[in-house]
A and B are shown apart, each in its own frame.
Chain A
Amino acid sequence: MLRRFFARFLPLLMTLALLTGTAIQAQDVPRSITFFLTFIPNIQFSPVYVAIEKGYFAEAGLDITLEHGDEPDGVNLIAAGERLFGMISGEQVIAARANNRPVRFVYEWFQAYPVGVIVSDDGTTESAADLRGRKIGIPGPFGASYSGLIALLTANGLTEQDIQLESIGFNAPQVFCAGAVDASVVYVNNEPIQIANLAAQGECGEVSGISVLNVADFADMVSNGIITNEDTIANEPELVAAVVQAFHHGLRDVIANPAEAYLLSLDYVESLPRSEALMDALGSAAAVQREMLEGGAEGESAAARASLLADLRTRFDPADLLQLEILARSIALWEAPRLGYSDAESWQVTQDTLIQMGVIDAPIDLSAAYTNDFLPGEAEASS
Chain B
Amino acid sequence: MQLQLVSRPISGQDGQKSTWRISMRRIAPYLGIALILIVWQAVVWLKVYPEFIIPSPLSVAERFIEVVQDGRLWLHTRTTLSQMLVGFAIGVIAGVLMGYCIAKSRLLEDVLSPLLVAMQSTPIVAYAPLLVIWFGSGPTSKIITSALIVFFPLLLNTTVGIRAVPPAQRELLESMSASHWQFFYLLEIPTALPVILGGLKVSATLAVIGAVVGEFVSADSGLGYLVNRARYDYDTPLVMVAIVTLAAIARLMYGSIAFLEHRMLYWRTYADQ
Say whether, besides A142-B232, A165-B220, A174 and B53 are in contact (CB < 8 Å): no
Q: In the assembly, what is the distance between CA of A142 and CA of B132, in Å?
A: 18
Say whether, besides A72-B231, A76-B52, A99-B235, A141 and B218 are in contact (CB < 8 Å): no
Chain B contact surface mostly: loop
Task: For the complex formed, measure the closest distance between the CB of A228 and the CB atoms of chain B, giving whole angstroms.
Answer: 16
Let me know if B217 is at the binding interface, CB within 8 A: yes
CB <8 Å contact, A167 and B53: no
CB <8 Å contact, B49 and A71: no
The 0/1 profile, CB within 8 Å of B marked 1, for residues 127-171 of chain A is 000000000000111110000000000000000000001111111
Count of chain A residues near B, Cβ 8 A: 32
Say whether, besides A76-B53, A80-B49, A140-B228, A168 and B132 are in contact (CB < 8 Å): yes
In the complex, chain A residues whose CB is within 8 Å of the CB of B129? 169-171
Q: In the assembly, what is the distance between CA of A80 and CA of B234, in Å?
A: 13
A171 touches which of B53, B218, B233, B236 (Cβ 8 Å): B218
Let me know if A62 is at the binding interface, CB within 8 A: no
Let me know if B255 is at the binding interface, CB within 8 A: no
In the complex, chain A residues whose CB is within 8 Å of the CB of B235? 99
Q: In the assembly, what is the distance between CA of A95 and CA of B52, in Å?
A: 13
CB <8 Å contact, A143 and B234: no
The 0/1 profile, CB within 8 Å of A marked 1, for residues 199-242 of chain B is 00000000000000000011110000100110111111000000
Let me know if A290 is at the binding interface, CB within 8 A: no
Let me know if A275 is at the binding interface, CB within 8 A: no
Count of chain B residues near A, Cβ 8 A: 22
Let me know if A100 is at the binding interface, CB within 8 A: yes
The 0/1 profile, CB within 8 Å of B marked 1, for residues 52-82 of chain A is 0000000000000000001111011001100
Let me know if A96 is at the binding interface, CB within 8 A: yes
In the complex, chain B residues whose CB is within 8 Å of the CB of A349? none
Q: Which residue of A lies closest to B239 (CB)?
A: A72
Q: In the assembly, what is the distance between CA of A170 and CA of B49, in Å?
A: 32
CB <8 Å contact, B218 and A70: no
B52 touches which of A101, A170, A174 (Cβ 8 Å): A101
CB <8 Å contact, A168 and B228: no
CB <8 Å contact, A95 and B229: no
Let me know if A302 is at the binding interface, CB within 8 A: no
Q: In the assembly, what is the distance between CA of A293 and CA of B48, in Å?
A: 51
Q: What are 8 A-B contacts defined by CB distance under 8 Å? A: A75-B234, A101-B234, A140-B229, A142-B228, A167-B220, A169-B132, A169-B218, A174-B133
Interface residues of B (CB under 8 A from A): 49-50, 52-53, 129, 132-133, 136-137, 217-220, 225, 228-229, 231-236
Interface residues of A (CB under 8 A from B): 70-73, 75-76, 79-80, 92, 95-96, 98-101, 139-143, 165-171, 174-175, 178, 180, 359
